[in-house]
Chains A and B, each alone.
Chain A
Amino acid sequence: MNALEIKGLTKAYRDFRLDSLDLVLPSGCIMGLIGENGAGKSTTIKLILNTIRRDAGTITIMGKDNRKNVQLMKEDVGIVLDDVGFPECLTGKQVGKIMRNTYRNWDNKAYEDYLRKFSVPMDKEFKDFSRGMKMKLGIAVAMSHDPKLLILDEATSGLDPVVRDEVVEMLNEFTRDEGHSILISSHIVSDLEKLCDYIAFLHKGKLLLCEEKDALLEEFGIIHCAPETLRELDASAVKGKKETAYGAEAIVKRNAVPVGMDVSPIGIEELFVFMVKEGK
């Protein structure tokens, strides 16, 4: 079963248009939704959560239309937005108490275990939390009501490397259960790159690609060579290039360059930047 299926999703604003988006996230997998600021990541997530009205398209979560059974859907989906907002005067413990009466499947023991494990204070008021603590609390809440799908919007931006690492660890633990899936949007991907099974690139409201990460990394590579050598290559092999006075750098399709050429591996972030620039 697919955890999330989006077909032909369209939403037009006056100066922005999310254009007929198709996405499939198989159950048990992690998908990274990558795009620059304003690419449509948050619009997509708001549409999945049905907090804004769509113009066209369908969204199914765990095989069910997301507009029917809204209550059930909210039980099944854990959400963390870039800003975690709880009432300022509440402590971690009190947040747990409220959630116990909010969600049917709230597991308070799991919640408190998460807080302990990721050193989030139990008795401190929310207003005194650091950004990292707020984010970890948000994720702990989202994971403790036994959701099947976890959706995170820019959850790691603005966090220090140590906390980012802890967040990755939390997500990793969550997906140990093969019924659990994650959709995570971000504009920085270095720390999520290893974790993701699928990568989707969003640019100006359009889906540039959505592929298995390994296939993607295998298809493309980066070469460093003299500008003359680059010009000899088949034009269809070169996906993007940068030339300086001292040499050239290019993104190439591995299977289209001559055998024996030294092609180094490329990171998801580099690939995205090259693709967006080529598209301009």
Chain B
Amino acid sequence: MNVFIDNKRGAPIYDQIYSQIKAQIINGELKEDEALPSIRNLAKDLRISVITTKRAYDELEREGFIYTLPAKGCFVAPKNVELLREESLKKIEEYMQKIAQLAVSCGLSKEEVVEMFMMNWEE
């Protein structure tokens, strides 16, 4: 498992850990039921606060990407197809919003954007 912490980046550190682990679970680098490092060890290896790391794990668990066994640690949860689909939908929506903003800012109409998209799709 790879985790990179970038202090200069605006995103909070817990968020950086959360999104990197999540990405690795989604793209299959982290396999189902694979053990994750303990919260304390990960924090110490990355030289960051334990509370920060715990927060990242809590978030992952709440969204169903990992599960905890008492006294054993955290593991990658079985992939949930529905969850992945929802993730992708959320992302698509985000991009669409950006497209809409850009289109408005340069005076493109809805029809023109749709046409551009259709052309792209067919390629």
Contact = CB atoms under 8 A, between A and B. Distances in A.
Contacts of A168: 47
B68 interface: no
Contacts of B41: 176
B71 to A, nearest CB: 13
Contact of A197 (B12, B14, B50): B50
A196 interface: yes
A212 interface: yes
A214 B52 contact: yes
> Which among B41, B48, B55 has the greatest number of chain A C-beta atoms within 10 A?
B48
Nearest to B48: A194
Given A194-B7, A264-B10, A265-B10, A214 B44 contact: no
B98 interface: no
B49 A213 contact: yes
Contact of B49 (A176, A195, A265): A195
A186 to B, nearest CB: 16
- Interface size classification for chain B: 10 to 19
B47 A194 contact: yes
A198 to B, nearest CB: 8
A73 interface: no
Interface in A8-35: 28-30
Contact of B51 (A178, A214, A264, A265): A214
A173 interface: yes
Contacts of B90: none
B107 to A, nearest CB: 22
B91 interface: no
B40 interface: yes
Interface of B is mostly: helix
B105 to A, nearest CB: 15
A255 to B, nearest CB: 15
Interface in A165-192: 168-169, 172-173, 175-176, 178
Interface in A200-242: 212-214, 217-218
B54 to A, nearest CB: 10
B44 A173 contact: yes
A29 B12 contact: no
Report which residue of B7, B10, B50, B51 has the largest number of chain A beta carbons within 10 angstroms of its beta carbon: B51
Interface in B31-79: 40-41, 44, 47-52, 55
Contacts of A213: 49, 51-52
A172 B13 CA distance: 17
A195 B47 contact: yes
Contacts of A29: 50-51
B12 A212 contact: no
Nearest to A171: B47
B13 to A, nearest CB: 8
B6 to A, nearest CB: 12
Given A175-B50, A194-B49, A195-B49, 14 more contacts: A28-B50, A29-B51, A30-B49, A168-B47, A172-B47, A173-B44, A176-B44, A194-B7, A197-B50, A197-B51, A197-B52, A214-B14, A214-B52, A214-B55
22 contacts: A28-B50, A29-B51, A30-B49, A172-B44, A172-B47, A175-B44, A176-B40, A176-B41, A194-B13, A195-B48, A195-B49, A196-B49, A197-B50, A197-B52, A212-B51, A213-B52, A214-B12, A214-B13, A214-B51, A214-B52, A217-B12, A265-B12
